[in-house]
Amino acid sequence: MPRQMVQMQQPLAGLDRAWAYQSQPPFSLPDALNVRCRDVFESRARLGSRPGLVKVFLQQLGGGTVESFTLDFAASKDAMIYKLSPDNPFDPSQGALAFGLALANSLVVKRTVLTFDMTSISPTPPATAAIVTASLRLNCSTINGSGGYAAKVQRLVTPGSTGWVEAQATWNSYATGNPWSTAGGDFTATDALDFTAPTALGNFTITGFGTLAQDAYANRSKLLHIILKNATEGAILNQISFNQRTDATESNRPKLTVTYEVTS
């Protein structure tokens, strides 16, 4: 019996998950999971079975798997620096941090410095992490003035090998015997985030921390050092006081929330 060659047209479309089993479009095969039936390297069709087409985004088709995570970080250090007492460290027994002016006097400027340790964002190599969003939650305990004024978060430049020292930081020095290069804390003018001071007591959230958090993760050993201050520190009564990291009520403590993606 002579041998005959038969040309077979397999379902090159594979399984289309967007359609019901009974409504698959032409050239699809609901009974198999064959995707990429054409071998582009050998220029021929294959009839073998491959995993089904489930994800349609470029980073998921050959560009790695992307997963999203959200973590909360408590402040690892916090302190208030006070222009009126330029060499006195913050006394934690005072119970509240503050930024702004408690009186209509430019000598009573207060600023708050905070550090958040994000080293727990540690994907296993070769995965990489990219911070998508981040926000800071504080609990306002006192408002001097009307609130609702312009304020700033700025990246604190931490000198020395260990950075600023919580129990020793003052308006003039980041640690005992180690002055800031500029009194009132060393911070950058460009790495800043504008926000509006709260007008009511209780929790308030400052959003838009993604860029500062990503910079800290990528370039600052995963340590986010920031300073909170009024945008204008003249002689206007405007001060916000908020609870410190050792507050007895956990929901009152400063908290950084970070959402990041890991690509592997």
Q: Mean pLDDT of successive 10-residue segments in the chain (264 residues)?
A: 58 52 55 50 53 44 75 97 96 92 86 96 84 97 91 90 90 95 92 95 97 94 95 89 96 97 86
Return the domain boundaries, the chain.
Answer: 1-54, 67-263
The predicted pLDDT at position 39 comes to: 55
Expressed in angstroms, the distance from the first to the final Cα of the chain is: 56
Enter the pTM of the model: 0.75
pLDDT of residue 146: 83
The confidence score (pLDDT) of residue 44 equals: 57
Select from 94, 127, 121 the least CA-distant residue to 110: 94
β-sheet bridge partners, residue 194: 152
Q: What is the pLDDT of residue 126?
A: 73
State the pLDDT at residue 128.
81
pLDDT at position 227, please?
Answer: 97
Phi, psi for residue 251 in degrees, rounded to 5:
-70, -10
Among candidate residues 167, 170, 195, 165, the one with its CA nearest the CA of residue 185: 170
Residue 145: how many other CB atoms lie within 10 Å: 16
The residue assigned the tokens 């379902």 is 11
Asked if residues 246 and 92 have their Cβ atoms less than 8 Å apart, the reply is yes
pLDDT recorded at residue 57: 44
Question: Could you tell me if 240 and 53 are in contact, meaning their C-beta atoms sit under 8 angstroms apart?
Answer: no
Q: Which two tokens stand for residue 86?
A: 């330029």
Q: What is the pLDDT of residue 123?
A: 87
